[in-house]
A = this chain, B = another copy of it.
């Protein structure tokens, strides 16, 4: 490799992991790295440590000296930077890169899914959100956070199941197989224990219940069906709204994307196409578009 060649680093910084990908200027993969959370709302120091840790891994893997970091043109997509407070925190970081271009995790996912071209994307994993990019315009929908949004996400399916089971155990909703299965999974014997153990958890604590809810719905459990259909109804409305901007493609990514798709409207299902590239490459597209 030529010394001082300009390289690109794409960073996908999420709430649980930070992934980086190092490429040359033709997007050829040179190396990758992975580290801990890089969500600025969990603390800027933690995010910076994760970013630098993953970057160092990639440089080592590419057999480049650590000092090469000042030659990297970086695109970084982070959850939370749609909020001015967190964006400003990142912008004020005296970073060691040649350049750093900041956008949202949703934006780099959308760019990656469509190979840097226009398109729409729905992310549904622990949380949920959607984005459409057409003719230079970007519209982000949903993603308002677990307490007041994130409908149709894994955490949403999970907390809906807890609420429903509590009502069922109180005799206010019909019983179904979901109830004993959820008690078993959470190692609870009654409503009081369930309320005590499952109150005020982080989103991931509810999202771990989502596979059970989907499994029960697939088996025809009426309570689980009600929850999954309500989640799918939100994702349908989100998809129709994104498609109203006439993007050339629609992708759906995230941990719940495969499992929830069979519950969506047929009109939407037929539109969904695979993501072409991962978000880290989307981040590199973003950096290249800014340079």
Chain A residues engaging chain B, CB cutoff 8 angstroms: 82-83, 141-142, 144-145, 147-149, 151, 159, 162-163, 166-167, 170-173, 191-192, 194-196, 198-201, 234, 237-238, 241
Within 8 Å by CB of A199, from B82, B144, B159, B200, lies B144
- Nearest B residue to A145 by beta-carbon distance? B199
Q: Is the CB of B148 within 8 A of A195?
A: yes
List chain B residues, Cβ under 8 A from A192. Answer: 82-83
Q: List 13 A-B contacts (CB under 8 A).
A: A82-B192, A83-B192, A142-B172, A144-B166, A144-B191, A147-B159, A147-B200, A149-B163, A149-B195, A151-B163, A167-B234, A172-B234, A173-B237
Task: Report, nearest first, the 4 A-B pairs whose CB atoms are least far apart.
Answer: A144-B195, A172-B237, A141-B170, A145-B199
Which residues of chain B have C-beta atoms less than 8 A from A148's C-beta? 159, 162-163, 166, 194-195, 198-199
B83–A145 contact, CB under 8 A? no
> Could you tell me the distance between the alpha carbons of A192 and B170 in the complex, rounded to whole angstroms?
37
Chain B residue numbers with a CB within 8 Å of A191 are: 144
CB distance from A280 to the nearest CB of B (A): 26
**Contact status A172-B241, CB under 8 Å:** yes
Report whether A241 and B145 are in contact in the complex, using a CB–CB cutoff of 8 Å: no
Return chain B residues, CB-CB under 8 Å to A159: 147-148
By a CB distance below 8 angstroms, the chain B residues around A196 are 83
